[in-house]
Structure 1
């Protein structure tokens, strides 16, 4: 029985778009049912948006069903489904859909290259890049940044791609320069990262990602003064900072043992609302434990984090292990972490072993560690 409710097509489209924007799966399913029961003629446009709705909401089975029910799928239909599978790390299904496209476009290639980049799979990303060039598609920033990220562990290959980017004039894309900068930084080539960042002012203009990436690079390489100066310049320019920038600047203050500057920075984070973030909290605990001569402030920071993660727990254990008179607190923190449902990793064991070694009696420390290993073995953590 067909629905006789007078649906206005434009209103229907607007409702569907609102469902996609708000990730409203329940209302979206209701609209989909009305779509099939109403007199609205089959529409590839609407079918694509239902596929997009389901993919945005993580309902991959419904996304595949919506795609299968599309009478006349176009390249956008395929790309939507490829992106849905890629976002959920189902690269084999994404590739399967890609291979079924009658005429893939540059978006199809970019989406799949980005999926391989997320998994660090260099070879398939390079093969797709070669196909793009053979087909003489117009390369863009997404294509090149994706393949550079995919090949990020091979510095020699990144250098070649960087040369290609510069020679062919693709260094006008900030996203490409950011990818090159991040790859150089991650592999320890800070001078090369600096050069890319410096030259971006002339070609591909620096964006917020560029500044953040350079600050992170300096923080990772213990170049504290440079990271702090970059951050100050970023603030002067009115650019937006994120939690990774904040954490990297904290690492910089810790590196140069600037407690006063770090405390002032902490105050700024409280005003901006970043202090409750677990990633930033780890940086604050590391700063105070190494520069403040105690763990009082560290406890306060930890208690302000609503949902501490494993990294935060490990940082607290590490902080306690730096003080002989607080080693027992470090062991207690290790046990409390497990009571809260966290499985210790290699870093957890290194930190708690350090705490045990600091106990006043070596035999007590050995016994404490032995007892913990036995309990972990019985509970299955070490299996």
Structure 2
């Protein structure tokens, strides 16, 4: 799982976003409060002092200002403070910041005055307030991160354990015994896994038992048909015996395939097999099916192709497609083509019946008059491809017919030499 997709990461990010949003809101409120306090403590104080001092100074009376405040008029206004527009200003003179209220008397713009606050500590208080808020913001972000990681770990760890246990096909009792929603999910998964395992075991045992039971009679049938072929004196007697032997052999191969699927061998431990050689062998094996029909059968060789899989499964997947193509093509061509990582089987037959296409989920097919019995071989071929991790695709052939493509995902294009195994 990518770190960006982690549920724990999302929880931490959510807490951080909440922290940033909440801090921003409080920052705006604090800034408005600080500015409001400044107006009340500094600006209003200066305005009140001016309202008392200006009339007295105009009347020629002594103006005794409170400590830290100085009232200047016209020529007594210090040079740095001259020319200030009416209102409250913050003026830096050297290392000192002054709060200055500037104005004029009546309508005479030349009769100007300024009130200077030399000892206001509000700027220092303002710096302290903003510094404390910055520290509180950093602390809040750290707290949100730690809290998000803590809660994320508390939430994600049981989910990760549940996912791992499902992957291992065992749900720990510690999870199924929980009283919360995770316990409900764990119990539901445990019940579903148990039910599914029982169903798969029943299917595997049934397939294995039936396959074992069929092997003995098929062996007897093949042996008897071989004797009949050897003792037949005429082609009329030999042809049915050959047909019986061929059908029994195909049934025996199908039994072998079903047994392999039931046992589900580990593909990585299988020796590599040459798929190109298997495809060529299957073409020669089913060539007699088109004998006597105006059908040409071709094998178009291509790059060497090998996969790690039981040879019987690869032969059954390709052979079912070739056999169906031969059985339901009355004229034209059956062609098996090797492409890089692919085996393509094409024919000029009637195509797949829509019912078979819909059942196998192969997409839209053309109408067909062919037998719906083709679906059984195709279903087995597709099941084999699913087990091997290979792609199985069908498309109507241009000009009529079918085109099946088997794509081997773990294909190896290197040739297999005797006594050597590709690394």
Q: TM-score range by the shorter chain?
A: under 0.3
Of structures 1 and 2, the larger Rg is shown by 2
TM-score (norm 2): 0.20
Q: Which one has the bigger strand percentage?
A: 2
Q: Which structure shows the higher helix fraction?
A: 1
Whose relative contact order is higher, 1 or 2, with alpha carbons under 8 Å and at least 6 apart? 2
TM-score (norm 1): 0.22
